[in-house]
Amino acid sequence: MTASRDAAPFLWGAATSSFQVEGAPGADWAAWDPLAGARPGMTGHYARFREDIGLLRELGLNAYRFSVEWSRIQPEADRWDDAVLAHYGELAEAVRAAGAEPLVTLHHFSSPAWLHAAAPWTEAEAAGRFAAFAGRVADALPAVRSWITFNEPMVLLLGGFLDGCMPPGLRSVGAFLSALRTLLAAHAAAAAAVRLSNPAALVGVAHNMAVFAPDRPWHPLDRLLARVARQGYNRALLEAMTAGSTRLTLPFARPVTVAGPARDTLDFIGVNYYQRLHVRHRLGAGLPGCVEVRHRDRCGLGLTDMGWEEHPPGLAVVLREAAAFGLPLLVTENGIATEDGERKSDFIRRHVAVLESCRRAGIDVRGYFYWSLTDTYEWLHGFGRRFGLYRVDWETLERSPTAAARVYARLVRESGGRAGLITS
């Protein structure tokens, strides 16, 4: 994104991820699935992608963020599926044909099941495997200029290696640090492979950022932990991908310096923003047990169906924090799980208003992607969390617009975006 800010239109988009809308029998999550809630094919996006691209047109959106499923493309360590690569190529072409910019995520939480045995993320070899995959995908999708290597690396690392709630289910500081080093190397190698295939490519990361507040504002340990969380969760990854190294202070442990090959590997920073978190020290527990993260409704807007605090001003906080790294920004995810269309509409109105004020204040943010285009499978919760602009009937897979779809379409139109078919 070296082009000047005025050269390209602001991207108004929506996002999905392959496993959440397509499923994949060969992915680690297919076996993991904590609620056994996954259904084969999920929303049926793999077969119905043209219909879903039609929804983008209905809304007047000019961008679509989707991901490609590694376990479908490389079903075995030594086998690639060209038909699947051709499928994703068609999907990207169809997005372009709809007048929208495809933004492709190479890794969105799901890895091939075979990877954990052949080259686990805790070992350096995984980086080379990922880069080989990235190069293949970039060669097969020449219509795509904008790439994201990893979705929410910190969530993947904390969930998979420290907290154990995501595959591969480890709970160890050592595994977390090894996997962090591998992920940084994998990001750098994949970015290089994508640029080799397409020298005009723009490569970024979709980084989950949150606002961290001390749960008890007067409590020195809560205040300390909120600062540590902000540094470790929001900043460390971006430091490693820009300056090339970062100091990670794990609570009550010696700081660790993580240096790697990821220096200057970003053309843009993608920010996924959902919530404010309230951090609290818990007595007598070792890491990670000494850190408690609470969800509080201190804004008075109500917790979402995920139990998260809705905190619109926090979008400006994290955008300012990301902007300090001197790169163009995209809001690559922002959304709410709720069955209530009015609430979803208000969420979008409030966050878009904050976004617009950030743009007016000169923050170089170039796009906004609502999460998600349709309802999806939600990792730890199955089908019971509805983020979608379009509601999916889980019996018939029929998509129908929520009230928020109309509101978002209107906001896009009013901000100078395209006119879609939804006009009310």
Residues in contact with ligand IFM by CB under 6 A are 17, 20, 152, 272, 333, 371, 378
Residue 347 or 371: the one with the smaller Cβ distance to ligand IFM is 371
Give me the least distance between CB of 78 and ligand IFM, in Å please.
29
Note the helical H segments in 123-235.
Answer: 125-140, 153-157, 173-197, 220-229
In 3D, which of 295, 301, 300 has the Cα closest to residue 276?
Answer: 295
Which is it for strands 390-392 and 146-151: parallel, antiparallel or unpaired? Answer: unpaired
Set 58, 69, 101, 152: catalytic member? 152
Give me the least distance between CB of 15 and ligand IFM, in Å please.
8
Tokens of 76: 């075995």
Phi, psi dihedral angles at 414 (to 5 degrees): -70, -25
Which residue matches tokens 């240096």? 259
Which is it for strands 11-15 and 63-67: parallel, antiparallel or unpaired? Answer: parallel
Which residue matches tokens 């959440």? 20
> 231, exposed or middle or buried, with CB in 10 Å at 0-12, 13-18, 19+?
middle
Give me the least distance between CB of 419 and ligand IFM, in Å please.
29
Strand (E) or helix (H) holding 365: strand 365-371
Can you spell out the DSSP letters for 51-64? HHHHHHHHHT--EE
Give me the least distance between CB of 286 and ligand IFM, in Å please.
28
Phi, psi dihedral angles at 273 (to 5 degrees): -125, 130
Residue 17 or 149: the one with the smaller Cβ distance to ligand IFM is 17
In 3D, which of 43, 40, 15 has the Cα closest to residue 26?
Answer: 40
Residue 139 or 163: the one with the smaller Cβ distance to ligand IFM is 163
Residue 272 or 374: the one with the smaller Cβ distance to ligand IFM is 272
In 3D, which of 329, 300, 298, 296 has the Cα closest to residue 315?
Answer: 329
Give me the least distance between CB of 148 and ligand IFM, in Å please.
12
Give me the least distance between CB of 155 and ligand IFM, in Å please.
7
Residue 402 · residue 58 · CB < 8 Å: no
Q: Is 309 a catalytic residue?
A: no
Residue 20 or 182: the one with the smaller Cβ distance to ligand IFM is 20
Separation CA 422–CA 424 (nearest Å): 6
Residue 222 or 333: the one with the smaller Cβ distance to ligand IFM is 333
Give me the least distance between CB of 196 and ligand IFM, in Å please.
28
8-state DSSP, 274? E
Separation CA 157–CA 160 (nearest Å): 5
Residue 312 · residue 275 · CB < 8 Å: no
C-alpha distance from residue 146 to each of 105, 183, 227, 344 (Å):
9, 20, 33, 28
Residue 221 or 355: the one with the smaller Cβ distance to ligand IFM is 355
Catalytic residues: 152
